[in-house]
Structure formats: C-alpha cells, structure tokens
C-alpha cells in the first residue's frame, strides 16, 4: 500500500456526531489511508500521518454526571481504560458526549457486548440531542414572527429594512436559520437511525453514503459564511456617501412649486446609489414658518427600486406606520396621506407607481392635499 498524503491534516466530518456508525466507518476509512485521529470537534477532525492499516473505532458514551451542576468527565477513568485494554482497545480522544476507542486486532471482542445495556446508555444521550434539535427547530417560527411579522424597532417593516441598510443582515440571518435547520434535521436523522439499529451488529457506511452526508453538512456550514460575506459586501456599499446634485435636477417638486410664494433659506439634494434602489433625497428647512423647533421642513425621498413588489411593500409600510389613509392622485397607482404622521404634527404623502416611490414630509400651515395637482403625472 502506498503512503497516504499528509495534507491537509484537518478534515471535515462527513456526518453528524449522533450518527455513530457513520462516524466509526469514516474513521476506519481514514485509518486505511494512513490518517489517525488526534482531536475531533463538531465539524472538523485533526489527523496525524501513520502507516495505512485496518483499525476498528468505537464510540462509548461518557458516564452521566450525578447532578445537574456537574459536567461529564473529559477523559475516561483508569478503571474504564483498563477494562478496554483487556479487550484489546485503547483510548483515542473525546468526541462530544462520547469517548473514542480504537482496536487494531481484528479478532479482539467488541468493546461492548450487551446490546440492551449499550442502548440504555446511548438512548439518554441521543434522546437529549433529538430534543435539543427539535427545540432549535421550534425557535425558527418565533424568529420569523418577531422579525417578519412584528418587525424591528426603528423600521416600519421588512421592505424598509431591505432598502435602508439591513437587507444584508436580514439575509445573513435567514441563511443562518437555514443552516440551523439543516444541522438540526441532520442531527435528528442520525440520532434516530442510531437508536433503531442493533449497535453490536455494525453496518458499515459506504463511501457514497458518507459523501451525501458530507454534502449536507458542508452546505449547512457554508451558508452562514456566504451570508456573512454578502453582509460585508453590502455594508461596504451602504457606507458610501451620497453626492450632491443641483436642486433643479431633482425629480420631485420643491416647496416653492408646491406652495407658490413659500421660500426656503436652506435646501440641498443628494443621490445615493444603493444595492436595491437608487435613492434621491431633497431636504429644505427654515421655510419662513412659525415653528417652535428649528424652523419648518419639507423633504422628499424618491426611491427607484429594483423590483415592483418591493416598491409596493415599502410604500405600504410607510403609509401604515404613519396611519395614512388611501387617496387618489392622477398618474400614481397608489397614494396615501397622513395629516399627523409624527409627534410634531407633520404631514406625510406617500406615492407609488411601478418601481418608483415618493415619500413627502411637510411641517407647515398648509395641507399637502391642497396641492395634489402638483404631484399628479400624466
């Protein structure tokens, strides 16, 4: 037999740790390639190089702690090791709730010879893994309810989050939940399969079965990384500052066009390219209005959004947040108006047509509904 390649020494574990037969079969295959396990974590195992040989591996459940506050031992005690050595087995490392033993003598007896006792010990461990996995799956609807139905404080809804810098974070969380779901289901399948088998009659996993498990676990591990990478990419995009544009180039009317004779002492317009929309913002302040806080204001947000459904959802969220009522404005598919949209009595007019959304905020003595013809489009 040829000597196995030593790199890489870290290998992804192809099956959940609850799939005892699968993990034992895989370690035996690695030993046949000259790789001996040193440490085994949840997702990766570290190997050292050795001569290729036939090795049997067995997982033995750790003894349960006597009280809730105690933890299971990190290594087997001297008595357990001595009993194993008498049967030709030696201790390798700890693997989660189990101790890993190996044997190079094909004629040596099994580490455990009592099927009923073995299942009694393992059932408690596996039942705990199943219950934890089910509990994690049950938390997913709670997360969906809090984030999707109730929303996040400071945002009017999911569409608002997507358009204002939290789309990547939301997607990252969704991928994390999907990874969570895949891992939990895989753990349940592995644990249930192990509980149903007669463990003294080991069924060796084929390389094809292990490859399928590896693909499932790899996808579960890569999804959060992909979400994090996407979140970082979007974060870079969202941190780009907007550029000023001439007020004359702004697509929405200024305050003097809405209310003739009214002038602003301070006005500016910016445009910011964002991942899901092209956002234009016009703000005008100190509109010669009698107001007790920093003068009056007239501002307009113009969104040209990537998808119609997102534009419709965003406009509807803004209207609902302000308690606006539906009105009709020529040239717009949907329109809403709120006379008291904020704590200071400001007005809000929301207009949506296809992928375009206008949100007009105004704090003054006149009503935006008296100037709807200015916002009408042919």
For residue 226, the model assigns a pLDDT of 73
All CATH 3.40.1000 domain ranges in the chain, comma separated = 243-375
Residue scoring higher pLDDT (334 or 126): 334
Tell me the per-residue pLDDT of 102-136, one tens digit each, with 9 for 90 and over: 999 988 888 875 566 566 666 666 677 677 777 77
Tell me the per-residue pLDDT of 88-99, one tens digit each, with 9 for 90 and over: 999 999 988 789
What architecture is domain 243-375? 3-Layer(aba) Sandwich (3.40)
Q: Look at residue 295 and tell me whether its pLDDT is greater than 60.
A: no
β-pairing, 297-305 vs 325-327, is unpaired
pLDDT band of residue 239 (cuts 50, 70, 90) is: low
Instruction: Return mean pLDDT, the chain.
Output: 77
Between the ranges 46-60, 135-149, 169-183, 275-289, where is the mean pLDDT highest? 46-60
For residue 115, the model assigns a pLDDT of 60
For residue 117, the model assigns a pLDDT of 59
Tell me the per-residue pLDDT of 49-70, one tens digit each, with 9 for 90 and over: 989 999 999 888 787 666 666 6
| Angle at 119 (CA atoms; ends 22, 106), nearest 5 degrees | 55
Contact 58/111 with Cβ under 8 angstroms?
yes
Stretch (H or E) spanning 269:
strand 266-273
Tell me the average pLDDT across 183-193.
Answer: 72
Q: Look at residue 48 and tell me whether its pLDDT is greater than 80.
A: yes
d(CA 122, CA 144): 34
pLDDT band of residue 101 (cuts 50, 70, 90) is: very high
On the CB side of 192, how many CA atoms lie within 13 Å of its CA?
10
Write the CB contacts of 188 (distance below 8 Å, at least 6 apart in sequence).
Answer: 129, 130, 133, 134
Contact 23/202 with Cβ under 8 angstroms?
no
On the CB side of 40, how many CA atoms lie within 13 Å of its CA?
23
d(CA 96, CA 56): 19
pLDDT band of residue 372 (cuts 50, 70, 90) is: very high
Instruction: State pTM to two decimals.
Output: 0.55
β-pairing, 325-327 vs 334-338, is antiparallel
Residue scoring higher pLDDT (45 or 16): 45
Q: To which residue do tokens 């307009």 refer?
A: 300
């Amino acid at each position: 037999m040829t000597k196995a390649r030593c790199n890489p020494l870290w290998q992804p574990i192809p099956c959940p740790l609850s799939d005892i037969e699968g993990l034992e079969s895989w370690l035996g295959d690695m030993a046949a390639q000259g790789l001996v396990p040193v440490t085994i974590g949840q997702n990766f195992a570290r190997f050292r190089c050795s001569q290729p040989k036939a090795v049997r591996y067995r997982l033995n459940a750790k003894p349960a702690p006597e009280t809730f506050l105690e933890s299971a031992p990190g290594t087997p005690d001297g008595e357990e090791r001595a009993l194993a050595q008498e049967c030709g087995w030696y201790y390798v490392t700890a693997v989660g709730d189990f101790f890993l033993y190996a044997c190079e003598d094909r004629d040596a007896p099994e580490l455990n010879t009592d099927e009923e006792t073995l299942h009694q010990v393992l059932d408690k461990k596996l039942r705990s893994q199943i219950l934890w996995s089910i509990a994690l799956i049950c938390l997913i609807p709670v997360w969906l309810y809090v984030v999707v139905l109730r929303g996040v404080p400071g945002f009017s809804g999911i569409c608002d989050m997507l358009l204002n810098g939290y789309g990547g974070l939301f997607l990252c969380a969704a991928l994390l939940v999907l990874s969570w779901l895949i891992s939990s289901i895989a753990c349940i399948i592995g644990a249930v399969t192990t509980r149903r088998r007669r463990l003294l009659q080991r069924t060796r996993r084929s390389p094809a079965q292990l490859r399928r498990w590896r693909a499932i676990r790899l996808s579960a591990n890569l999804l959060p990384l992909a979400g994090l990478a996407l979140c970082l990419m979007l974060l870079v995009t969202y941190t780009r500052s907007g550029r000023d544009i001439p007020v004359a180039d702004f697509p929405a009317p200024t305050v003097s066009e809405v209310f003739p004779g009214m002038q602003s002492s301070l006005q500016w317009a910016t445009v910011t390219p964002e991942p899901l929309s092209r956002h234009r913002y016009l703000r005008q302040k100190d509109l010669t209005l009698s107001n007790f806080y920093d003068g009056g204001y007239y501002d307009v947000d113009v969104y040209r959004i990537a998808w119609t459904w997102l534009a419709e959802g965003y406009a509807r969220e803004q209207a609902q947040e302000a308690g606006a009522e539906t009105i009709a404005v020529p040239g717009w598919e949907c329109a809403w108006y709120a006379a008291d949209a904020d704590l200071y009595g400001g007005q809000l007019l929301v207009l949506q047509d296809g992928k375009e959304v206008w949100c007009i905020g105004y704090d003054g003595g006149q009503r935006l509904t008296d100037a709807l013809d200015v916002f009408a489009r042919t």
